[in-house]
Amino acid sequence: MTRTSQASVPNAGPAQKLAVLGGGAFGTALACAFSRRFPEVGLWLHEPEAAERLASSRRHPTLAWMPPLSAAIRPTADLAEVLSRATYVICALPTDVYGDFLAQHASKLPAAPLYLVASKGARLGADGAVETPRRWLEAALAHAGHRDTRVALLSGPSFAREVAEERFTALVLAHEASEALHDDAAFLSGPKLRLYLNDDPVGVELGGALKNVMAIAAGFMDARDFGENAKAAFIARALAEMTRLAEGLGAKRETLAGLSGLGDLLLTCHGAQSRNRTFGEHLGRGLSVAAARAAAGGVVEGEKTAAAAYAAAERLGLRAFIAEHVHKVVSGQLSPSVALEKLGEWSPISEHL
């Protein structure tokens, strides 16, 4: 497949506009990071009052560490204003709000040249299939008559704070026809934010979702001070489980060895900024699920992804020991200490998948 020429890319001209849907930590961080490349960045927040405060103060109302917004960023609760003339649309909404958002606003979504899904989560559908934000958005766009609109994934190891502070970050831009996005990746990349192409969006989205489940279990271990040897062994086995599940759900095995698999897993299992790991650590220290969620300070995607991962493994007849025990802890069936004991009782098996 040949690379597209710069002239063939609709957003290659001087009037590019970026729309970011979601004014949480990651959405705002991406708006900050990309504001140097776009003369205008529309940032959509659900709550008008929060949008007004952010627009006037240029400081995020709940995230004190977020840098002041540049002049290019225009926060608003007016979705039509954000989407107007957008050449790229980044969807950085929490996974749980996609249903309500698309139910209310799908008809307003334009046939933009490229949608980028930056949300990391998975849910179990009514038919037993694993559902993801990318698939919900594709279905909504098709229903709105935009069947040819491209929907890609933007994923990889990326704490919001470091993205906002413009520390070096490498992400994956994933689409089945990834080579056609070569010029998009080149345009969006900068000295501190590099985009790598991947033609396996299924593997990229599952890597980004499943690593959150593994991070919760890593938090259990941190609460009990298991040590670095145990953490290293756990991460290796967690990657094997993620790869097994993702491959069973249609992903390419090698994708899980990349940025949105191994890279994201290492970051979220070790990093102090990981909400999922922090949530697991608080559970391991005896907090209730609700209290641990509040203490984690944001959306804990792995909590519900664990249920989808465990159910998918059961349906496919695959081993998912970690996902099973995380699900049983967050659903109140096991304590973190008992889960850790059971995770330590693995029968000797082949190291390989």
- Residue 37 · residue 88 · CB < 8 Å: no
3-state secondary structure of 234: helix
- Residue 193 · residue 158 · CB < 8 Å: no
What residue type is assigned to position 12 of the chain? A
Q: Exposed (0-12), middle (13-18) or buried (19+): which is 332, by Cβ within 10 Å?
A: exposed
Whether 211 is catalytic = yes
Give 181's contacts (C-beta < 8 A, 6+ positions apart).
Answer: 114, 150, 152, 173, 175, 197
> What is the CA angle 195-198-201, rounded to 5?
115
Q: Exposed (0-12), middle (13-18) or buried (19+): which is 53, by Cβ within 10 Å?
A: middle
- Residue 301 · residue 278 · CB < 8 Å: no
Q: Which of 17, 211, 304, 328 is catalytic?
A: 211
Structure tokens belonging to residue 52: 């007004």
Q: Which residues are catalytic?
A: 211
